[in-house]
Amino acid sequence: MLHALLKEKIKSADDVANWVNSGDMLEFGMSIQQPDVFDVALAAQKDRLTDVTIRGTLSTRARQVIECDPEQQHFTFENWHFSGYDRKKFDQGLESYVPFNFGEGPGIYRQYRQVDMIVIKTTPMDEHGYFNYGATNAYVRASCDVAKKIVVETCTEMPYCYGTEGSVHISEVDAVIEGDNAPLFELPNADITDLDRTVAGYIVPLVQDGSCLQIGIGGMPNAVCSALAESDIQDLGIHTEMFVDGMVDLVEAGKITGWKKQTHRGKITFAFALGTKRTYDFIHKNDMCLSLPVDETNLTQFISANDNVVSINNCLQIDLSGQVASESSGYRQISGTGGQLQFVRGAVQSKGGLSFMCLSSRYKDAEGNPISRIVQGIAPGTVVTTPRSDVMYVVTEYGIVNLKGKSVSERALALISIAHPDDRKSLHKQACENKILLKKHWF
């Protein structure tokens, strides 16, 4: 019966693209879950369509509905979180960012978003009639709940992940597109620099046995994973929004047991995974891994339900009062709010929890000039991702400071102390001129 139903619902990508009408709102899902065969088919029908809005997140391949329509006469693409590709399209005026805290995603879809059709890449149907969402759970079930039509594009390369709200049944699906089964996009691991290792060296001594980790992606988080793998720390747990290669390293080093977690004991919980094939192979039908909707991973009450949560995040800039900018540079959107603020707050609310904000003291601009990431004030247009009242530890290659309980003057002095040595005098001078520091510190 299931296979008869499947046969009935198998459609070509062109046939499904014919279902799209002008003015429709389409959902493409997130990351490696975004459809490819359907994307091409829909782009080919652009001339009969106007005012079609497509919503997606973290595109890992060029989206043909964008590439085919440089004047936006047919399609508009909205995005919850930018990848490198999305950033370039934003710069060209071809994508619009949608601000949100990642953990609110399911609720936002169920309360505020219209979806005429969702088209997502899934595993092929299993013996029970289910198409598994694979490496991305996030807000997909909520999108399906409000969609007028549900379409899956199957991919034999997609890992099958155990969890909750992680699949859709053939009885709910309007069409099945047999995909091209191309290898999944792989995100290369960022090289670990000496600066990254130095930053990790300030963090790891504060991590206790039995801590529950949320670690982002990039050189600094990779360095923390590497340092933890080589440490004497034991019985760590993972409760994170994003599962990455560095976490596989920790499991293989015997550091992850999850037995000290208060929620989902013995399980690695995550909302989506993005990395190399090594990560996809690891999460595939792995009973230790639990894929959850992002409200269950990212809302602060679920984060703080575990003790000793350790949240490690990167940022682009921090001002002398502690305001953190992690997603934009001026008016240019770089990435997105994601789950940073929710994990900062969840970690601080956790019994024994710690939150770390990591950044290099400097970066180089387009002309190669060194620029301080610690600044007097956030630049105009730059978005504050984490308010100063929420920030705990800040770490650069020059040290670590805890801003909790400190006055603005104390914060400024603390942050100046971990700025690049060549920037400290000018930062101190600016802080004096703008009365950020108390009079006794003026010069």
The tokens of 377 are what? 């004030």
Contact 243, 251 (CB under 8 A): no
Q: What are the φ/ψ torsions at residue 332 (nearest 5 degrees)? A: -90, 115
Cα–chain center distance at 166: 18
Cα–chain center distance at 182: 24
Contact 259, 235 (CB under 8 A): yes
Bridge-based pairing state of the strands 237-238 and 268-270: unpaired
The tokens of 175 are what? 């069409």
C-alpha 405/C-alpha 48 separation (Å) is 60
The tokens of 136 are what? 């991305």
Contact 240, 347 (CB under 8 A): no
Sequence letter at residue 254:
G
**Among candidates 229, 236, 234, which has minimal Cα distance to 212?**
236
Q: Which residues contact 51 (CB under 8 A, 6 or more apart)?
A: 22, 23, 76
Contact 410, 401 (CB under 8 A): no
> Could you please report the per-residue DSSP string of 294-310?
HHHHHSHHHHTTSSSEE
The tokens of 360 are what? 């290099």
C-alpha 20/C-alpha 411 separation (Å) is 54
Computed on alpha carbons and rounded to an integer, the radius of gyration of the chain in Å comes to 23
Contact 237, 353 (CB under 8 A): no
- The DSSP 8-state label assigned to residue 367 in this structure reads T
Whether 104 is catalytic: no
Catalytic residue among 104, 241, 296, 327: 241
C-alpha 47/C-alpha 366 separation (Å) is 39
Sequence letter at residue 436:
I
The tokens of 431 are what? 């802080």
Residues in the chain: 443
Which parts of 25-83 fold into alpha helices (H)? Answer: 37-44, 64-67
C-alpha 359/C-alpha 202 separation (Å) is 12
The tokens of 100 are what? 């949100």
- What burial letters (b/e) apply to 23-37, b meaning 16+ CB within 10 Å? ebbbbbbbbbbbbbb
Would you name the residues annotated as active-site residues?
A: 241
